[in-house]
Amino acid sequence: MGISLFNLDGKIALITGSTHGLGMAMAMGLGKAGATIIVNGNSSQKKIDDAVLKYQKAGIKAFGFKFNVTKESEVINAIQEIQNNHGAIDILVNNAGIIKRTPLEEMEVHDFKEVIDVDLVSPFIVSKHIVKSMINRKQGKIINICSMMSELGRNTVGAYAAAKGGLKMLTQNMATEWAKHNIQINGIGPGYFATSQTAPIRVEGHPFNDFIVNRTPSGKWGDPNDLAGAAIFLASGASNFVNGHIIYVDGGILATIGKPSNEN
């Protein structure tokens, strides 16, 4: 029996912003499929160390690197250190991101630029410096974490939507330029997930909770573990001829215009 198409044994995977939340859920999936996980964060070394311990307790080989994905010099130094200590990066997941919920007419320009810098410019920076090794080896996987806001707008998230819409097109252009080197570049667009960040608004009766449950054909919030399958698929040999696509893991939200409030 041949090796599974989804087997990641021997692969090195860097997941930016993987100390918690959806980034950690995807990294856990990749790790359980056999990949060595390179954990990245920028808030504190302790948070990175705590995350690495969680991965290791789950039986996953993991190492932590603190660097700011928006600072090119830090990215270059970190990539060099990772490659020297652990080998070439086979899988890159550009997950690090921020959101600032402010009406556009009230948003400060520096806040708008910060969101663009983290959510759009940093995937370019990190990918640019990792893809060179992938090109030399004629193989690699890059996964950009997009959003439903890559397709739709929503009040108060204009900067985020602009960045994630741009990331969708950057993903397609990366595929246009790098597919010839046997590198697959795709994206994942998460819907609304049950995380510690959304816990306060996931209370039954909360207007936003009711909106999401009613707006989602599946009738529920996503479980972060639901992202693992898409991440493994796009990181593995199973997707070797898939390029420039965004997989929306959203319970069907983008498939429908919604339903009347009085419809079951």
Residues identified as active-site? 160
What are the helix (H) ranges across the chain?
21-32, 45-57, 72-86, 109-116, 122-137, 158-178, 207-215, 228-235
Strand partners, 222: 193
* Most distant CA atoms of the chain, gap in Å: 60
d(CA 157, CA 198): 16
Cα dist from 30 to 91, 164, 171, 230, 232, whole Å:
10, 23, 20, 10, 6
Q: Please count the helices (runs of H) and the strands (runs of E) in the chain.
A: 8, 7
d(CA 103, CA 253): 24
Cβ partners under 8 Å of residue 234, min gap 6: 141, 143, 184, 186, 188, 242, 247
d(CA 145, CA 185): 11
Cα dist from 211 to 99, 147, 200, whole Å:
20, 18, 14
For the chain, helix, strand, coil in percent to 5 are 50, 15, 35
